[in-house]
Amino acid sequence: MMSMKPRTKHILSIALAAAVIAMLLYLDSNKAQYSYSIAILERSAIYAVVAVSMNLLTGFTGLFSLGQAGFMAIGAYTVGILTIPVEARPNVYYINGIAEPLANVNLPFWAALILGGLMAALVGGLIGIPVLRLKSDYLAIATLGFSEIIRALIAAPQLDRITNGSYGLKSIPAFSSILQVFGIAALCILIMILVINSSYGRAFKAIREDETAAEAMGINLFKHKSMSFVISCFFTGISGGLLAVFMRSIDSKTFQVNLTYDILLIVVLGGLGSITGSVLASFLMTAGREWLRFFDVPLVIGGFSVPLFRNGFRMVIFSLILMAVVLYYRKGLMGNKEFSWDGILRFFYRIAGRLRRKTPGNGGEANA
């Protein structure tokens, strides 16, 4: 078995982290030039947090929930309502005005973000009481329903003076720098990794593997399922708050079911039960959609206009790529394994081995 010395691995890990930070610092110092890349990276980092929190629930505890968009909406609106500058509020709530108690409440970004997470966790805890008694698909349908209910409530005219109803929120103060987003995302993911590696994380995995056996081992199913659900909701709320700050203007349509499906796609693509897979996939997915943009522009080769190249064609290509990935990597890019330097080493050896076998006259075809 190929493996490296622990020392080599540490050095490589530190080098990788340093490279990422250096890149971020470079991007940050040339904001104007790289604003497009910065936006993509920020969105990826935010999606990575939701994806890991969904993976904690679906990949590690075996609870298939589709409520992400709803919980993100709670986080996003909490952050939005509490951080919009007081002087900008008349402009935002220009139709109905803002509710009196909220009119002068203005919290710093980090406090609003944590509060957004807590709100989502609280709602998650309440919804969890009835919903977590369901299993598999039924749980997914019920959470999906609750997610839509949350969205409908936010857009309800009765809450106009709090959420601004269907007009949405705008003028949310932006991030100070890309490092802020990456710092918060890294911290959230680190905390979730620590949860998963703790004894409670092992109990979650036991529930995923076999509920009956887990219960016979003294694990209280409902308690541990709620724990996992609430933790997941908390970080989903946080990422919703980050998304609100990233987008700077949100409305209830931002948090439609499609958002949940995007996250689900990331989680499945990265591999159920792999944190690094989720992170990797969220960057690939978000960036991939942008890289494919040239399919949307009419292409002319030597005076001949290629017929299919038009607005929306990139989504067709994107779907084809997704299908190919799902067909060839049935368990997602990482399966249920985590990123490791040994894994990278093995991957390159495998490719090298395959290339050697394909070279004619080198044994490969001789067996046929």
Partner 1 sequence: MPDNVLHLADVTMQFGGVVAVNNLSLEVNRGEIVALIGPNGAGKTTAFNVATGVYAPTNGRVSFNGETIVSNFPQGKMKKMYAGENRGKYTDVVRKTPDVITKLGIARTFQNIRLFKNLTVFENVLIAKHMNMKAGLFLSTCMINYKEEREMRRQSTELLEIVGLAELRSEISGSLPYGQQRRLEIARALATEPSLLLLDEPAAGMNPQETNDLTSFIYQLRDDFHLTIFMIEHHMNLVMEISDRIYVLDFGKLIAAGTPSEVQNNQRVIDAYLGVAEDGE
| Binding-site member from 3, 16, 88, 209 for partner 1 (CB under 8 A) | 209
Q: Which stretch binds partner 1 (CB under 8 A): 74-82, 169-177, 195-203, 283-291?
A: 195-203
**Per CB under 8 A, does 331 bind partner 1?**
no
d(CA 100, CA 82): 13
Give least dist CB 229 to partner 1, A: 13
The secondary structure of 305-317 as a DSSP string is: EETT-STTHHHHH
**Which CB sits closer to partner 1, 209 or 290?**
209
Which residues, other chains included, contact 125 with Cβ-Cβ below 8 Å and sequence gap of 6+? 226, 229, 230, 233
From 288, 295, 287, select the one nearest 312 (Cα to Cα).
Answer: 295
> By CB under 8 A, is residue 210 in contact with partner 1?
yes
Residue 115 CB neighbour total at 10 angstroms = 17
Binding mask 175-194 for partner 1 (x = CB under 8 A): ----------------x--x
Among 21, 213, 306, 316, binds partner 1 (CB under 8 A): 213
Neighbour count for residue 234 (Cβ, 10 Å): 26
Cα–Cα distance measured from residue 208 to residue 58, given in angstroms and rounded to the nearest whole number: 9
Nearest CB to partner 1, comparing residues 204 and 295: 204
Interacting span for partner 1 (CB under 8 A) from 66-74, 216-224, 244-252, 280-288: 216-224
214 part of the interface to partner 1, by CB under 8 A: yes
Quick one: 199 or 367, whose CB is closer to partner 1? 199
Question: What span, in angstroms and rounded, lies between the C-alpha atoms of 361 and 358?
Answer: 9
- Helices (DSSP H) in 170-312: which residue ranges? 178-197, 199-209, 211-216, 221-247, 257-270, 275-291
Shortest distance (Å) from residue 194 CB to partner 1: 5
- For residue 169, the 8-state DSSP code is B
At closest approach, how far in Å is the CB of 202 from partner 1?
A: 5
Beta-carbon count within 10 A of 27 CB: 18
The answer to whether 226 contacts partner 1 (rule: CB under 8 A) is no
Q: Is 16 in the site for partner 1 (CB under 8 A)?
A: no
Q: Which helix (H) or strand (E) holds 45?
A: helix 35-55
Taking the complex as a whole, how short is the minimal distance between the CB of residue 12 and partner 1, in angstroms?
23
Nearer Cβ to partner 1, position 53 or 163?
53
Looking at residues 79 to 108 of the shown chain, list those that interact with partner 1 (rule: CB under 8 A).
none
Question: Judged by CB under 8 A, does residue 9 bind partner 1?
Answer: no
CB of 205 to partner 1, least distance (A): 6
Q: CA dihedral defined by 151, 59, 274, 198, rounded to 10 degrees? A: 100
For partner 1, the binding residues (CB under 8 A) are 191, 194-195, 198-200, 202-203, 205-206, 209-210, 212-221, 227, 336
